[in-house]
Amino acid sequence: MTLPGTGTLAGRAIAALGRCGATLPTIAGDAGPAPLTARTPIDGSVLAFLHPSTSADVEAAVTGAHDAFLAWRTVPAPKRGSVVRRLGELLCEHKSDLADLVTLEAGKIRSEALGEVQEMIDICEFATGLSRQLYGRTMGSERPGHRLSETWHPLGVVAVITAFNFPVAVWSWNTALALVCGDPVVWKPSETTPLTAMACDTLLRRATTETAAPDGLHHVLLGTAVIGEQLVDDPRVALVSATGSVRMGRAVAPRVAARFGRCLLELGGNNAAVVTASADLDLAVRGIVFAAAGTAGQRCTTLRRLIVHRSIVDDVTDRIAGAYRQLTVGNPFDDGVLVGPLISGAAYHAMHAALDTARADGGVVVTGGERVGSGESFYVTPAVVRMPEQTAIVRAETFAPILYVLAYDTFDEAIALHNGVPQGLSSAIFTTDHREAEGFLAADGSDCGIANVNIGTSGAEIGGAFGGEKETGGGRESGSDAWKSYMRRATNTVNYSGELPLAQGVEFGPRSPDDFA
């Protein structure tokens, strides 16, 4: 018999999972496929062994979700919103438990883990209100006695594929909106964060039961990329919302397009902040440090490039390096720790290789980049690197806490450096000059989906649409009108005139019933 992990962290995970109402299955060592192993990046230990989903499980999940859709699409949207409202209440009740699981599986410090769960609660509140605001519109018709309008209808089954770094927030962005829009969800979480997925699924199933919603509105599939590939290719999946690498997006998008499905992609980010000569440096440094070092540099919105006016670049670099040296790296459950572990050894080796390349390109590591401790976990000190120019390694996204510092002389040069990467997710400028701020937000300024003034690149609120351009994929999730991705639009014309005029003044055949006699 293969048992769950027996260490202290494993016990904490099983306890949190149990309080959410989920239980771990017993797995026979010699039967079926190899178990999925859930580990914690805190010390590399095993948290649990889980059943991986099979191809038959994927088929059953999509079939169940599609069957549920046929009923769910006819339920009034405010009634659909009651499920999401109840989910939000349950998330409030289990906020601490879910935060424990986020820390255990993703390595986030306690404050960030609690913040991620709060983001789930916030989007449930947003989506509940949205369930009464799925507005269409009425347009003026050119034909007398006609009404022209648009309506929005449920789309179909939504597949949600999420990454490890936001194991629950991104799922909730998609799921809360999908459910109020009338769409069931099939979720394929990162194989490194299965326990958080199990807990969320249990709470949502409880919410659907308590609100008398149809069975089959939500399914979780655990396993490797093979599971995601089957979802991508299934014609019953109307929308694939996938968060991950650019490489993953390049594989997903053409396969979904080949069957004329929809994609919502949230891919790579190589985010920059411009610091102008007029910037409030005390404010800027605080914003930069969190954006660059938070979550150990493992956010898609992490600040990776700092573009600083040459007159202040030495001062800004020194200030940031000094702040970095005060950051406490360690167990994310410990008080005072600000930087937890990297997710894996592969992430550490990628960071190490990037720093070696940066040095070879003439860069100078001002501080950081050292491994802290040893064993099966990978903790590093966040690195600040002065670069003479924007080389290939700077233009690439390394999912680790490396901040490259570049100098500029003119504002146009700063914008060119900022936009001179293939990714286009989040961006920021620190300035007290109104013209610089507005120029950064203008059409010829930042080319990213998110552009901020005097705040960092990370920490987006759910009220705004989240997403980016270029290799970031072009998708939008969360607030604003992102809900439209989960619905289909119908243009309606109603003739109440008793006549039958054609649009654009077209004349075609008989004009009245008498002409047919």
Distance CA 410, CA 387 (A): 18
Helices (H) and strands (E) in the chain — how many of each? 15, 23
Distance CA 121, CA 496 (A): 46
CA angle 299, 296, 429 (to 5 degrees): 55
Q: Is 105 a catalytic residue?
A: no
Distance CA 163, CA 265 (A): 12
Distance CA 279, CA 263 (A): 39
Distance CA 292, CA 288 (A): 6
Distance CA 244, CA 246 (A): 7
CB-side neighbour CA atoms (13 Å) of 248: 23
Distance CA 32, CA 291 (A): 44
Distance CA 490, CA 472 (A): 29
Distance CA 17, CA 29 (A): 23
Annotated catalytic residue within 266, 397, 436, 477: 266
Give 2's DSSP letter.
B
Q: How distant, in Å, are the alpha carbons of 150, 177, 240 from that of 81?
A: 22, 9, 22
Q: Which two tokens stand for residue 38?
A: 């859930």
Q: Which two tokens stand for residue 450?
A: 């998110």
Q: How distant, in Å, are the alpha carbons of 96, 420, 459 from that of 364?
A: 41, 21, 29
Residue with tokens 């390049």: 250
Q: Are 102 and 204 in contact (CB under 8 A)?
A: no
Kindly write down the DSSP assignment for every residue of 132-166, as one continuous string. T----EEE--SSTTEEEEEEEEE--EEEEE--SSS
Q: Which two tokens stand for residue 266?
A: 């949230």
Give 479's DSSP letter.
S
Distance CA 464, CA 466 (A): 6
Q: Indicate the length of the chain as a whole number.
A: 517
Give 113's DSSP letter.
H
SS3 51: coil
Catalytic residues: 266
